[in-house]
């Protein structure tokens, strides 16, 4: 009898996995919207424009996904260091804002397929350019708390030789402090640092990168149907050229 009970449980588990008791995408359809959490200062992925509206590359992608799903999308600014807690607590449905797919994050959440390639560069003032990782020795380095830059610096052998690591709530705050001389360098995502500097031209960046990284959309591990649907939709957007049009709007035609 005990063996029969175990077999029944196994069959039910297999049935659930195969035929999808997971209703994560159905829930989105029923609610008529999905909620995207983001750091609303991470230009050009997701940030507030001059009129205060949230705009950016990831924002345009999410809006297109919502359009194809026949639902609305709500953008909810979160503290970046706690955004995965917001996701797993159910406050948001996705964290979609240039999030690097690190092993530590993969232990907490599931990711979409990679949709963007990036890395961590060193930004410094023009008069005191830092071009190599080794040149961070003895320097005061700024970065965003809980960011992939934070992880990259800690894992690099240069970490023990840095004079001080100053952590900020946003990349913008870190880069502004660099401009006025409160730090010697800032380690930041290539896309964010270059976009910031394109508007001001006060900084330079290193030839050497600390990492090569891949961005993904973070979702709860149990939301398998939602993950599969998002992957399918992003692939459709790439195949029909919509993804590339959005890319060119924010980054030009150099490709990624």
Q: What is the pLDDT of residues 29-47, one digit of tens each?
A: 999 999 999 999 888 999 9
9-13, 148-152, 193-197, 226-230: least confidently modelled range:
9-13
- pLDDT for position 137: 98
Neighbours of 48 (CB within 10 A): 14
Which fold would CATH assign to domain 120-211?
D-Maltodextrin-Binding Protein; domain 2 (3.40.190)
Token pair for 107: 């232990």
- pLDDT for position 10: 40
**By 3-state DSSP, what share of the chain in percent is helix, strand and coil, each rounded to 5?**
45, 25, 30
CATH class of 23-117+214-251: alpha beta
CATH topology identical between 23-117+214-251 and 120-211: yes
Ordered by start, the domain boundaries in the chain are 23-117+214-251, 120-211
Q: What percent of the chain has pLDDT over 70?
A: 90
Q: What is the pLDDT of residues 178-236, one digit of tens each?
A: 999 999 999 999 988 988 988 888 999 999 999 988 999 999 999 999 999 999 999 99
Reading phi first (left if > 0) and then psi (alpha if -120 to 50, else beta), residue 214 is in beta
pTM: 0.73
For helices 242-251 and 57-69, angle between their N-to-C axes, nearest 10 degrees: 160
Q: What is the chain's mean pLDDT, rounded?
A: 90
């Amino acid at each position: 009898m005990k063996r029969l009970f175990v077999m029944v449980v196994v069959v039910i588990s297999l049935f659930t996995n195969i035929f999808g008791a997971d209703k994560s995408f159905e829930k989105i359809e029923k609610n008529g919207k999905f909620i995207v959490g983001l750091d609303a200062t991470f230009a050009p992925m997701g940030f507030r424009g001059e009129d205060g509206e949230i705009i950016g590359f990831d924002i345009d992608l999410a809006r297109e996904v919502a359009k194809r799903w026949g639902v609305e999308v709500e953008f909810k600014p979160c503290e970046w260091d706690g955004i995965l807690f917001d996701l797993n607590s159910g406050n948001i449905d996705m964290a979609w804002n240039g999030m690097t797919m690190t092993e530590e994050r993969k232990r907490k959440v599931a990711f979409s397929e990679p949709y963007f390639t990036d890395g961590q560069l060193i930004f410094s003032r023009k008069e005191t350019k830092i071009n190599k990782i080794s040149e961070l020795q003895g320097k005061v380095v700024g970065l965003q708390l809980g960011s992939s830059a934070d992880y990259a610096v800690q894992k690099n052998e240069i970490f023990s030789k840095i004079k001080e690591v100053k952590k900020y709530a946003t990349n913008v705050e870190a880069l502004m402090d660099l401009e006025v001389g409160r730090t010697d360098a800032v380690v930041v995502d290539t896309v964010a640092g270059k976009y910031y500097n394109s508007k001001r031209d006060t900084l330079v960046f290193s030839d050497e990168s600390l990492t090569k990284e891949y961005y993904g959309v973070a979702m709860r591990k149990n939301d398998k149907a939602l993950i599969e649907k998002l992957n399918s939709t992003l692939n459709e957007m790439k195949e029909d050229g919509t993804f590339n049009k959005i890319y060119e709007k924010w980054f030009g035609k150099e490709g990624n």
